[in-house]
Amino acid sequence: MYPISTSFWKKTIFTSTAWVGIMLLSGCTPNQAANQITLNIGYQKYGILPIVKERAVLENALKNQNVKINWVEFPAGPQLLEGLNVGSVVFGEAGEAPPIFAQAAQADLVYVANQPAAPLAEALIVPKNSNLQSVQDLKGKRIALNKGSNVHYLLLKVLQAHQLKLEDIHVVYLPPADARAAFERGAVDAWVIWDPFFAAAEQQLGARVLATGQNLVSNHQFYLADRQFSEAHPELLNTVVQQLNTTTQWIQQHPQQAAQLLEKPTGLSVDILSRSIARMGFGVQNISAQVVQQQQQVADAFYQQKLIPQKIDIQAAILKPTTSTSP
C-alpha cells in the first residue's frame, strides 16, 4: 500500500473547504445542495413558457424551496418531447400532435395540464392573389404542412368537412421555414400553419384564410412532464401550474407587454405577435374527460393515416388529478 502524501491531504482539505465556502456564499449549506431539486424546463421561442422565463416568474415563486431551474430551448415540440423522453428536461409545453407521437414511441410522459382550445390559431391559407376561393378549389392542388403536427389533423378535418380526401390533393411535407419559402415563391398552392407563422403570413404576405380550426378542431396546448418526476414532486408541479395559469391571466391583461417580451426571441414584430397572442387559449387547467376524448380522436386519426405504428390510449398518459396538481 502506497502512503498518501501530505500534498494530497492539503489539496483535498482545500477543495472541500472551497466547496463549502461556495455553498455558503450561494446561500446553500452542503445539506441543502444535496437535497436540491433540479427542474429542467423545455421551452420554445413562442408560447407561455418563454414569457414565464423572461419574467422570472418561477424563480421568484420557488426561491425559498431549494429548487434550481434550468431552461432548455428547443426548436419545436417533437424535439422538446424527445428531450423529455431522454431525460434532458422533465417539464415542457407542446401542441396536440407531439405527445401523441412521443407516447406511440413509448415515452414515459404524462399530461399535466392544458390551455383552453384555440381553434383560430391555425388555418389553411392561400397567397393573396390566388384564384382559389374555397376549400373545394383545392382539388388537385399542392398543400404544404408540417407532417404529424397539429395542422396535419386540421387538414384532415377541413377536407372531411368539404367531402374531400387526402387523395384529392397533393400534400407537400415541409417544416414551417421551408413551407413559408415555398408559399412565397408559388411552389405550393396553399399552406396549413399555426401561429405565430400564420399571423406572420397574414401580416407580411397578405395571405388569405380559406379555413381555420373553428368548429373543426380544438388545438389545445399541453403541459407535459416526466412521469417519475411528476410522481416524486407533486407540490412542485402544482406551483408550476399555478404560475402558468397566473401568467396567462397576465398576458390576457397585458398583451402588448407580452408581445414585447417575445419580440427578441422570435424575431417577429410586436404587431404580428399581438395578433397571434389574441388567438391563444387563456388559462391553464387540469386535463378534463372531454379534452382526453378530443386528444384520443387526434391519436386515432393519426393511426388511421398510418402516422403512428399502433393505437394508443391517451387516458393512460394522464396525470391522475390530486389537490397537488390543481391550478
The per-residue pLDDT for range 101-143, each reduced to its tens digit, is 999 999 999 999 999 999 999 999 999 999 999 999 999 999 9
Domain termination site, one of 188, 212, 236: 212
All cell numbers assigned to 240: 408550476
In the prediction, which pLDDT does 75 show?
87
All cell numbers assigned to 68: 434550481
The three-class DSSP label of residue 171 is strand
Domain shared by 95 and 230, yes or no: yes
The total number of structural domains that make up the chain: 2
User: What percent of the chain is predicted at pLDDT more than 70?
Assistant: 87
Nearest CA to 122 out of 37, 194, 215 is that of 194
Choose the weakest-confidence range: 14-23, 64-73, 237-246, 274-283: 14-23
Domain shared by 53 and 131, yes or no: no
Calculate the average pLDDT of the chain. 89
Domain assignment present for 190: yes
Domain that holds residue 162: 119-212
Domain shared by 273 and 242, yes or no: yes
Instruction: Name, in order, each residue with C-beta under 8 angstroms of 174's C-beta and a sequence gap of 6 or more.
Output: 144, 145, 146, 182, 188
pTM of structure: 0.83
Where does the pLDDT of residue 25 fall: very low under 50, low under 70, confident under 90, or very high at 90 and above?
very low
Where does the pLDDT of residue 155 fall: very low under 50, low under 70, confident under 90, or very high at 90 and above?
very high
Domain assignment present for 84: yes
In the prediction, which pLDDT does 20 show?
41
Domain assignment present for 297: yes
3-state DSSP helix/strand/coil % of the chain, to nearest 5: 50, 15, 35
HEC per residue, 52-85? HHHCCHHHHHCCCCCEEEEEEECCCHHHHHHHHH
Domain termination site, one of 185, 212, 239: 212
Domain shared by 207 and 132, yes or no: yes
Average pLDDT for residues 247-259, to the nearest whole number? 97
Omega before 127 cis (within 30°)? no
Handedness of CA 293, 91, 36, 27 (dihedral sign): negative
In the prediction, which pLDDT does 14 show?
42
Whole-number Å distance between alpha carbons of 225 and 49 = 14
Domain assignment present for 7: no
Whole-number Å distance between alpha carbons of 131 and 128 = 9
- CATH number reported for the structural domain that contains residue 78 in this entry: 3.40.190.10
Domain shared by 137 and 171, yes or no: yes
Domain shared by 173 and 244, yes or no: no
Where does the pLDDT of residue 321 fall: very low under 50, low under 70, confident under 90, or very high at 90 and above?
low
Print burial letters for 174-186: b (CB count within 10 Å at least 16), e (below 16). Answer: bebeebbebbeee
Domain termination site, one of 184, 212, 240: 212
Domain assignment present for 1: no
